[in-house]
């Protein structure tokens, strides 16, 4: 199946979810304008991205089953995938408000669209809209998985991963407060903590863990005389993979165009604790560091000029040369992640038909989606 066909098949499930959620709103006797508002919230914020997180649930289930899923198995995997996309939408709508971002996925951020601003309560209603996107997750899980033996496992996964992501967002926000920026706090170790909690758990671990629960992968099993703890193995591999993904994202924010990444990069102007600035502060001279203190995250009439000056310093081939450092980092990260995957005990011929054993191909498939990405 082509990438377009895979995406379209997955999108078809979203239409059913949207109709189900709207039908539930009607059953609650919600006013027509509220129903229309929620419908637009869903359409605007949920299906517009690359959908890698959601589709990865289906891909992981297919690999674990070691065969094509049945229609019912596909539907359940896709439902879980769309729950992740709803979670992603909840995070992004909220994050854009906190960061006062301009665009997302090539269109104005939800809190900035004319109808939202037209109410005279800029940002406020978008906060509730984000909460409703999160609430929809648990409505879908209850409707479709309540009778499954792994229902509680699904609830715990979403609740735990959401909490971890919010912890990462907290550290991100207090490390780089807009009204009291101090990049002296920025270190590569602080960056690692933020991205592992803010990005890696929901963007990488969650997709695979949901697929594992759906396929009945237990907390531990014996393989070749060794005890395998598959969820710990998934954490060991996927969290560094998520960190690599976020470093890519940080690099593309400064080095990519809006056409490439679907948004206007604002990390430098916003003073974000990104991999690029942490690397610059780690390896820069005292003069370069002083330059960063004077220009990084400085908003005002000269912010565009200051932003370009920081980019020029990043690009200096005789100086920091962030593109070269990123190239080296990327090469090493991919090699290290592949080495981690190789350490996972692989089911032998006697377990070939079992769908409750973790397989290396689950992680290789995920890694292949983010290697050499440009958006």
Catalytic positions, written as ranges: 50, 90, 95, 99, 104, 172, 198, 245, 249-250
Q: Are 217 and 357 in contact (CB under 8 A)?
A: yes
C-alpha to C-alpha distance for 201 and 235, rounded to whole angstroms = 8
Cα–Cα dist 112/101, whole Å: 9
Q: How many whole angstroms separate alpha carbon 74 and alpha carbon 132? A: 26
* Widest pairwise Cα distance in the chain: 68
Please state, in angstroms and rounded to a whole number, the distance separating the CA atoms of residues 238 and 201: 8
Place of tokens 């800029």: 122
Alpha-carbon gap, residue 115 to 49, rounded angstroms: 22
The first and second tokens of residue 79, run together, are: 């439902």
Cβ(181)–Cβ(271) below 8 Å: yes
- Residue 375: strand, helix, or coil: coil
Q: In sequence order, what E strands does 226-298 have?
A: 226-228
d(CA 199, CA 178): 21
Strands (E), the chain: 103-104, 107-108, 221-223, 226-228
Helix (DSSP H) and strand (DSSP E) numbers for the chain: 17, 4
Q: What is the separation, in whole angstroms, between the first and last Cα of the chain? A: 22
Closest CA to 279 of 238, 235, 237, 324: 324
């Amino acid at each position: 199946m082509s990438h377009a066909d895979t995406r379209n098949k997955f999108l078809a499930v979203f239409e059913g979810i949207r109709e189900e959620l709207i039908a539930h709103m009607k059953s609650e006797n919600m006013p027509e304008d509220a129903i229309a508002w929620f419908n637009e919230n869903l359409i605007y914020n949920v299906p517009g991205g690359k959908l890698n997180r959601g589709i990865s649930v289906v891909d992981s289930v297919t690999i674990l089953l070691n065969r094509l899923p049945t229609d019912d198995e596909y539907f359940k995997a896709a439902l879980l995938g769309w729950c992740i996309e709803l979670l992603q939408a909840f995070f992004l709508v909220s994050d854009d408000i906190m960061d006062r971002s301009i665009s997302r996925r090539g269109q104005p951020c939800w809190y900035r669209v004319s109808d939202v601003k037209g109410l005279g309560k800029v940002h406020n209603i978008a906060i509730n809209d984000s909460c409703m996107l999160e609430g929809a997750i648990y409505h879908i899980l209850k409707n479709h998985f309540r009778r499954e033996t792994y229902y509680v496992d699904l609830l715990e996964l979403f609740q735990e991963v959401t909490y971890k992501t919010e912890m990462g967002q907290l550290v991100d926000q207090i490390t780089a407060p807009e009204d009291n920026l101090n990049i002296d706090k920025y270190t590569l170790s602080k960056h690692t903590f933020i991205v592992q909690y803010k990005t890696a758990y929901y963007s990488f671990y969650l997709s695979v863990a949901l697929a594992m629960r759906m396929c009945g992968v237990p907390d531990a099993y014996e393989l070749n005389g060794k005890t395998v703890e598959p969820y710990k193995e998934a954490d060991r591999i996927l969290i560094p993979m998520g960190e690599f993904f976020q470093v890519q994202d940080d690099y593309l924010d400064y080095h990519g165009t809006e056409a490439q990444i679907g948004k206007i990069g604002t990390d430098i102007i916003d003073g974000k604790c990104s991999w690029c600035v942490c690397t610059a502060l780690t390896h820069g001279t005292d003069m370069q560091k002083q330059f960063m203190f004077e220009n990084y995250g400085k908003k005002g009439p000269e912010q565009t000029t200051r932003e370009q000056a920081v980019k020029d310093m990043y690009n200096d081939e005789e100086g920091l040369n962030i593109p070269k450092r990123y190239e080296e980092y990327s090469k090493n990260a991919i090699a290290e992640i592949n080495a981690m995957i190789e350490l996972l005990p692989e089911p032998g011929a006697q377990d070939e038909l079992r769908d409750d054993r973790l397989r290396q191909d689950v992680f290789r498939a995920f890694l292949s989606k983010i290697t050499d990405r440009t958006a």
